[in-house]
Structure 1
Amino acid sequence: MKCNPISFHGNEGAVGLSRWIEKFESVFGISNCAKENKVMFAAATLQGLALTWWNNQFATMARAVANIKSWTEMKAKMMEEFCPPKEIQRMEHEL
C-alpha cells in the first residue's frame, strides 16, 4: 500500500478503468507483488459501485476461489462490467 495505488469506484468509465489497470500493473512491478496476491491486492482498492460488484462476485463463488483468479481474469471481468460496448465504440470512433 506504500506504492499509493489509486482506488477504482466503477463510475470512471473505460478510460478510468484503463488508467487504474495501468497504474496497478506499475505498482505490481514496483512492489514485486506475488502473482497469487495481485487480485486480492487490487480488490482491496475497489470502492463504491466497483466494490459492490466485486462483493457480488463472491455471492456466486467462494471467497477463496475468487481470490485465486488471475489478474488477467480480473481485468477481463472488470472490462466486461465497467466498459460498456457503446462507450468503447464511441472511443474508437473518436480515435
Structure 2
Amino acid sequence: MANSMNVMAAANPPKFRGDGGPAAADLWLQAMEKILGAIHCPEDEMVTLATYQLLGDAEYWWGNTSVLMEGAYEEFTWGNFKRKFLSKNFSETARERYGEEFLKLTQGGMNVEAYAKKFES
C-alpha cells in the first residue's frame, strides 16, 4: 500500500469535495480511474486510494457510506464504490438529461440515432 500511495501522490490526483454537479463528479471519477490504471493499482487498494482524495462533503458522505456498507457486509470493491459514488453524485435525473442531450447531438446534419443507424448499415 505504501508504494501505491507514493506513486499515487506523484501522479497528483485531483481532489473531490462533492460540489460542481454531475459533470465534476464524472470528471473526477474518470481521472481517478485513469491514474489507478496507470499505476497498476491492485483492486484491493483502489477504494482506499481514491477515497483519500475526497474532501469536505464528499469525505463526510464516504464516512457514512462506508459504515453502512460494513453493516450490510458489502465488499469495498471498486465496482461497489463507483456504483455508490455515481448514485450520490450523478442522479437518475441528471443521467436522463445527459442522455437526452447526447441524442440531440448532430453529426453532418444527422442526430446521433440516425448517424448510428447509417454507420451500422
Counterpart amino acid of residue 76 in structure 1: R
Higher CA-based Rg: 2
Identity %: 25
Report what 1:14 is aligned to.
22
Q: Deviations over 1:39-82 (max 9, x none)?
A: 000000001111110011233344xx77x511111000011111
RMSD: 2.0
Q: Pick from 65, 74, 88: which aligns with 2:81?
A: 74
CA spacing shift, 1:61–1:89, aligned 2, 3 Å: closer
TM-score by structure 1 length?
Answer: 0.83
2:96 paired residue number: 89
Q: Over residues 23-54 of structure 1, what are the superposed CA-to-partner deviations in whole Å (9 max), with x where a residue is unaligned?
A: 11111122121111000000000011111100
3-state SS in 2 of match to 1:7: coil
- AA in 2 matched with 1:10: G
- Aligned length in residues: 93
What code does the residue aligned with 2:32 have?
F
Corresponding residue of 1:52 = 60
| Alpha-carbon separation, structure 1, partners of 2:45 and 2:60 | 20
Q: Which runs of 4+ in 1 moved over 6 A?
A: none
Instruction: Tell me how far apart the structure 1 counterparts of residues 29 and 91 of structure 2 sit (CA, whole Å).
Output: 16
Unaligned runs of 5+ in 1: none
